[in-house]
Structure 1
Amino acid sequence: MHPNTRVKVFYLCQKAVTHPIAPLFDPKESDQDGYLNDQEFDNFQRKCFDKLLPESDLSRNKQAIQKLSAESITEKGIDVRGFILWNKMYAEGGRHEIIWTILRAFHYTDSLSLKDSFVNPKFEVPPYSSAELSPAGYRFFVDLFLLFDKDNDGGLNDQELAALFAPSPGLPSSWADYSFPSSTFRNEAGHITLQGWLAQWSMTTFVEPKTTLEYLAYLGFESLEKGGTMAALKVTKPRRRRRRPGRVDRNVVSCYVLGASQSGKSSLLDAFLNRPFCQTYHPTIKPRTAVNNVELQGGKQCYLIVRFIVAQTTGDFLADEIGRQLEELGELEPAILENQVKLDTCDILCYTYDSSDPDSFSHIVELRVSLTAA
């Protein structure tokens, strides 16, 4: 091996110890107490090397770590600093292959980035079908929620959410568009509940399954089934093939709410998320999205995504400007009704009107006419 190559390999291994190795501590530290206990270390060994580390070797490793950092070895196990030191010892001792074996087991490339095929696996959703979480996917997100709800209050506060998403780039960017966490069910303290957490991921999977797959990779989903993270998702039957009206075979349903200004669209979404009615009218100038679980006739539970579409501008300068932007993006009512792709992903059209305002109902008639014409 050329000397320069050896230097580069050593540099990468050193970088590996401080760059991706530390994040690897999180997914294998299953109880999130900040320490790798012996069982968790055995699981780590089995994943990386397909065998257990002899107890005598584990004891020697602990002693070596303790000499470098006495506080890193406790009755609870090895802390993250000790874990890094353990890997650093191998790197500095010339045992580079051990570091690379660990990195390969966690899907890292030679450049210390996650494999694109792992983060973004090929996943296609046929026309008129949709993506949903599989039972394994729901189980993973339930376990994740319970693991990070440290105070057991039934909600994830900002600190708990930050800890949960620490191995990832942060909250999915699309969640900001939904104004998360106000897009789903929260407790009285404003923290997302397990019900809201599962609803949010159900919506994300329905709207952008590739984002869910990406975060399953970051957050440590593992499956013995072929396909890796794709085992957490499933594809529904095409909508056009459903033969029994009124029967819902899917777990996630999409609804557009249409209606004139001041017809109660915002109040409908607030009630859907169990929020109090506001007597003061505040015009909504941007589309809103909400998701929650609902019980259908017969007791079946499903997740309903409700998105209300802006009808028109209000005369306010800011509202008019945003309205023009929405019109360009095709997010106003006429554009939605003329967009067959959007309508194909919609299961329900909900019309709202103010019974005291005849023009409000006339607006629905006009929408129905335009929809029929389309």
Structure 2
Amino acid sequence: MAAAAANLAGRPGVRVVVIGDPGTGKSSLVVAVATEQFPENVPKVMPHTRLPADYFPDRVPITIVDTSSSPEQKPKLIAECQAADAVVLTYACDRLSTLDRLSSYWLPELRRIQLKAPVIVVGCKLDLRDDQQNSLEQTMAPIMQSFREIETCIECSALRQIQVPEVFYYAQKAVLHPTAPLFDQEAQSLKPRCVRALKRIFILCDHDRDGALSDVELNDFQVRCFSAPLQPTEISGVKRVVQEKMPEGVNDSGLTLTGFLFLHALFIEKGRLETTWTVLRKFGYDNEIKLRDDFIPTSVKRAPDQTVELTNEVIDYLKGIFNMFDIDNDEALLPSELDDLFSTAPENPWTSDLYKDCAERNVLGGLSLEGFLSKWALMTLLDPANSFANLVYVGYSGDFNSAFTITRKRRVDRKKQQTQRNVFQCYVFGPKGAGKTALLQSFLGRQPSDALPTNSDRFAANTVEPSDGTRKTLVLREIPEGDVRSLLNNKESLAPCDVAVFVYDRYPFCRAIFLFIVLFSALCHIYAGNF
């Protein structure tokens, strides 16, 4: 696969801050890259210097911020570092004391201020370096082992114009094509979130779903990402490299997922991070390896008494996904099968306390189809944007409007005494110890003792059959006693509530269940116009 620069023209620029001990060549480095010559007279601190967008192939301008190392300027230096996209940390090749100061002062100080930007360590005054000194790799290896935030190291000479532009090219590259989200330097392997994204991309490109990218599919992938086809000899060469290093990376059908992941790890190890980033960005990923906002809406406009529900199209899609991942055909998804289903998402969205204990499961922890759909209904009710994002992550190709429907306002439903909604929310009130959690557990066919402790809201979602024979999803939300006052004082907080259940400890548990069923059935009758 030929690498190509990512389309990053939309980025306003990269801000690079240069720091280091006095006399290490900071200002000379800045002047040399801007003027392409060694300065005769250098000011103590250079004013902000801008490299134009066409200076490097990514066509993103760079603003270089020089700094003073004097103690009285330390607050300003810290502020500049905290505003930086990348930091260039200098030492002088002819003064080993400045090299020692990287580990004894500068790098610990950057950690102390919780710097998030990548660090490029630069040995200036290469022309004065003693030939008897260790190589750059030998010198920097222990430092980089201790300080993983160092993106790369380089030596340069402003006087001789040796590798001066490269310093700022690597700084820009560290921002536009960062290593940290993709690769674990210590384990020397792709990070889990990167693997998940690349697995999704592989599946999307495997049009015939045979578990391998054929020559045609590989070429389509290449054209989509890099706008250039692969020649047959190039495809053969790619597969040969993979097969030599990892035989299972290629089979009779083409490049397997194992081989696809191996190739990207190889690109990163060889410093060609722009190749992997180009692929990720072409498929909509941002620097956190999540789908960008232009792919996934961050919010859904609706009135407080309107909710979002899954369409029949998506429900049918989810039923198909359920059957696909029910490997043992036991009509339930075991935790391992569910993890596999979400293996193309940044993480399994149902590992949080909110979703762990909210639906029916069998004795082995398997999730039935009804429980599976109930969890999706709950996620859509509470966080439609997150629900849609995860639909896309697991392969849904439709748009937001085909996936979801926004229900009519509840006050209109009540006025007309009918509704087309399929998901209803019941708030469960009662004093502590009255049996609210037990009620939710019983609704899911569990014992009260099965409830997991949680510091967040507790929900239970399941399908019910009102007297009219239709199937609905009912969501019970347990309202902690301490939250009741604030909830009742906020009118919008009550807007999503269709019906309320009040649990008293003097009622037998079965009577509380009966009361809840009666209330819900009455609600459905009212909406159906039966009263």
**One fold, TM greater than 0.5?**
yes
Residues 264, 353 of structure 1: 8 Å contact kept: yes
2:248 and 2:258 in contact (8 A); partners too? no
Report what 2:496 is aligned to: 345
Residues 67-82 of structure 1 mapped to structure 2, 5 A cutoff: 67-75=244-252, 77-82=254-259
Cα separation, 1, equivalents of 2:402 and 2:224 = 18
Contact 1:14 / 1:88 at 8 angstroms: preserved in 2?
no
Whole-Å Cα distance in 1 between the matches of residues 268 and 435 of structure 2? 64
The answer for the alignment partner of 1:253 in structure 2 is 424
Match of 1:290 among 444, 453, 460: 460
Q: Secondary structure at the match of 1:256?
A: strand
Range moving further from structure 2, 23-32 or 152-161? 23-32
Question: 1:115 aligned to 283, 292, 312, which one?
Answer: 292
- CA deviation map 1:281-334 (0-9, x unaligned): xxx9996421011123333222110123345xxxxxxxxxxxxxxx2xxx23x5
- Letter aligned with residue 26 of structure 1: K
Residue of structure 2 equivalent to 1:200: 375
Q: Please tell me whether the aligned partners of residues 202 and 252 of structure 1 are also in contact (alpha carbons under 8 angstroms).
A: yes
Indicate which of 141, 144, 155 corresponds to 2:318.
141
> Following the alignment from structure 2 to structure 1, what is the Cα–Cα distance between the partners of residues 201 and 217?
6
- Specify whether residues 248 and 275 from structure 1 end up closer, same or farther in structure 2 by C-alpha distance, changes over 3 A only: farther
Letter in 2 for 1:127: P
* Structure 2 Cα separation of the partners of residues 259 and 92 of structure 1: 59
> Partner of 2:196 in structure 1?
23
Per the alignment, in what secondary structure is the counterpart of residue 118 of structure 1? coil
3-state SS, counterpart of residue 242 of structure 1? helix
Structure 2 residue matching 1:153: 3-state secondary structure: coil
1:63-94 CA distance string (max 9 Å, x none): 34223433311246433342134457778999
Match of 1:307 in 2: 477
Structure 2, unmatched stretches of 5+, are 1-54, 57-164, 184-189, 516-531
Within the alignment, does 1:185 sit opposite 2:360 as a pair? yes
Deviation at 1:222, TM superposition (A): 2.6
Q: For the Cα contact (< 8 Å) 2:427–2:499, is it kept in 1?
A: yes
Output the amino acid matched with 1:142.
K
Structure 1 equivalent of residue 279 of structure 2: 102
Map residues 144-163 of structure 1 onto 2, 5 A cutoff: 144-163=321-340
In the alignment, the residues of structure 2 paired with residue 277 and residue 111 of structure 1 have an alpha-carbon distance, to the nearest angstrom, of 40
Indicate the structure (1 or 2) with the bigger Cα radius of gyration.
Answer: 2
Residue identity opposite 1:69 in structure 2: M
Q: Report how far residue 193 of structure 1 moved.
A: 1.9
Q: List gaps (5 residues or longer) in structure 1.
A: 279-283, 312-326, 365-374
The amino acid that maps onto 1:27 is R
**In 2, Cα distance between the equivalents of 1:72 and 1:161?**
25
1:211 aligns with 2:386: yes
Residue 61 of structure 1 pairs with residue 61 of structure 2: no
Matched residues in 1 for 2:324 and 2:396: separation? 14
> Secondary structure, in 3 states, of the residue corresponding to 1:212?
helix
Describe the shift of the 1:76–1:309 C-alpha distance in structure 2 as closer, same or farther (beyond 3 A): same
SS at match of 1:200: helix
- Judged with a 3 Å threshold, the aligned counterparts in structure 2 of structure 1 residues 69 and 263 are, in CA distance, closer, same or farther, namely closer
Q: Is the 8 A contact 1:14 1:91 kept in 2?
A: no
- Whether the 8 Å contact between 2:426 and 2:477 is mirrored in structure 1 is yes
CA gap of 1:256–1:40, structure 2 versus 1, over 3 A, is farther
- Contact 1:30/1:40 (8 A) holds in 2: no
Q: Displacement of 1:206 after TM fit?
A: 0.8
Does structure 1 retain, via aligned residues, the 8 Å contact 2:296–2:389? Answer: yes
CA distance in structure 1 between the aligned counterparts of 2:196 and 2:235, rounded to whole angstroms: 21
Q: CA deviation at 1:348?
A: 1.0
Task: Give matches, 1:261-340, under 5 Å.
Answer: 265-275=436-446, 288-310=458-480, 327=482, 331-332=483-484, 334-340=485-491
In the alignment, is the contact (CA less than 8 A) between 1:107 and 1:118 conserved in 2? yes
* TM-score between both structures, scaled by the size of structure 2: 0.51
Match of 1:372 in 2: none
Look up the equivalent residue of 1:200 and give its one-letter code.
Answer: K
- Please state whether the residue corresponding to 1:185 is helix, strand or coil: coil
CA pair 196-40 structure 1, distance change in 2 beyond 3 A: farther
More helix as a share of residues: 1
Report the counterpart of residue 176 of structure 1 in structure 2: 352
3-state SS of paired residue (1:102)? helix
- 1:159 offset after TM fit, Å? 2.5
Opposite residue 352 of structure 2, the aligned amino acid is: A
> Is the 2:290–2:346 Cα contact (8 Å) retained in structure 1?
no
Q: C-alpha distance in 1, partners of 2:295/2:389?
A: 8
Amino acid at match of 1:296: P
Instruction: Give 1:203 deviation, angstroms.
Output: 0.9
Q: Secondary structure at the match of 1:198?
A: helix
Residue 132 of structure 1 deviates from its aligned partner by 1.6
Q: How many residues align?
A: 332
* Partners of 1:23 and 1:57 in 2: CA distance: 26
Aligned residues of 1:184 and 1:291 also touching (Cα < 8 A): yes
Say which is worse superposed, 89-98 or 138-147, in terms of deviation.
89-98
Query: The residue matched to 1:257 in structure 2 has which SS?
Result: strand
